[in-house]
């Protein structure tokens, strides 16, 4: 009797699973990329050329102000795509610019807007930098990544240079949307 009941339950479950899979696969067969129930997502990424252009423009913007700096561009996950260090920028500026870019990308906000978090326990998380100088690379509602700049006497100058770097590519990113 128990084995008969178990067999019926297994048959019922198998039938339900088959129905669910059938309807699921039927739903995915048409335009899966546009379907909100798609088993995958499409991620827009910056090209190497775009990332390099942002980093170089940011460093050149600082140089115009008499500041030797470094700029790091990361993708939306915080993975480094490009790094530019001006000739006399301190070596530590590479690390600091990377941390600023990583933090901006992971919080999806400019690091200058993280003042409240800077006084929280998040400030003690290794790999985060709450100081100004990290900004998003964003166009048409899509976050492509972030750029961090370090080397200026103030975070505000670092941030202005980072914004200048983004400005160089923003039109191309918006037109690609």
Per-residue pLDDT at 30: 42
| Domains identified in the chain, total number | 2
Per-residue pLDDT at 83: 98
**Same domain, yes or no, for 125 and 149?**
yes
Per-residue pLDDT at 4: 52
Between 150 and 6, residue with greater pLDDT: 150
Does residue 18 have a pLDDT over 50? Answer: no
**Same domain, yes or no, for 96 and 34?**
no
**Same domain, yes or no, for 100 and 120?**
yes
Per-residue pLDDT at 171: 92
**Same domain, yes or no, for 156 and 115?**
yes
**Same domain, yes or no, for 71 and 136?**
yes
Q: 88: burial class by Cβ within 10 Å (0-12, 13-18, 19+)?
A: exposed
pTM of structure: 0.77
For 89-147, how does the pLDDT look when each residue is reduced to its tens digit (9 = 90+)? 999 999 999 999 999 999 999 999 998 887 788 888 999 998 999 999 999 999 999 99
- What angle is formed at CA 152 by the lines to CA 72 and CA 86, rounded to 5 degrees? 50
Per-residue pLDDT at 120: 85
φ, ψ of residue 23 in degrees (nearest 5): -65, -35
Confidence of residue 34 (pLDDT cuts 50, 70, 90): low
Does residue 14 have a pLDDT over 60? Answer: no
**Same domain, yes or no, for 30 and 115?**
no
**Same domain, yes or no, for 35 and 62?**
no
* Number of residues in the chain: 177
Per-residue pLDDT at 124: 83
**Same domain, yes or no, for 57 and 130?**
yes
Mean pLDDT score of the chain: 84
**Same domain, yes or no, for 64 and 15?**
no
Per-residue pLDDT at 42: 85
- What angle is formed at CA 153 by the lines to CA 152 and CA 154, rounded to 5 degrees? 90
**Same domain, yes or no, for 74 and 104?**
yes
Q: What's the domain range around 69?
A: 48-176
**Same domain, yes or no, for 170 and 96?**
yes
Q: 3-state DSSP: the chain helix, strand, coil percent, rounded to 5?
A: 50, 15, 35
Does residue 3 have a pLDDT over 70? Answer: no
């Amino acid at each position: 009797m128990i084995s008969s009941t178990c067999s019926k339950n297994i048959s019922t479950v198998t039938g339900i699973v088959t129905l669910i899979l059938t309807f699921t696969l039927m739903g995915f067969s048409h335009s899966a990329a546009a379907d909100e129930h798609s088993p995958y997502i499409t991620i827009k990424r910056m090209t190497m050329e775009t990332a390099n252009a942002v980093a170089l423009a940011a460093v050149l913007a600082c140089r115009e102000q008499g500041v030797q700096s470094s700029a790091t561009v990361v993708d939306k996950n915080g993975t480094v795509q490009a790094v530019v260090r001006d000739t006399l920028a301190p070596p530590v500026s590479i690390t600091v610019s990377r941390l600023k870019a990583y933090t901006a990308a992971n919080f999806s906000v400019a690091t200058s807007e993280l003042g409240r978090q800077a006084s929280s326990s998040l400030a003690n998380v290794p790999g985060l930098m709450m100081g100004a100088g990290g900004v998003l690379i964003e166009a048409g509602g899509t976050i492509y990544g972030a750029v961090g700049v370090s080397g200026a006497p103030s975070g505000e100058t670092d941030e202005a240079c980072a914004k200048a770097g983004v400005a160089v590519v923003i039109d191309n990113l918006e037109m690609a949307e």
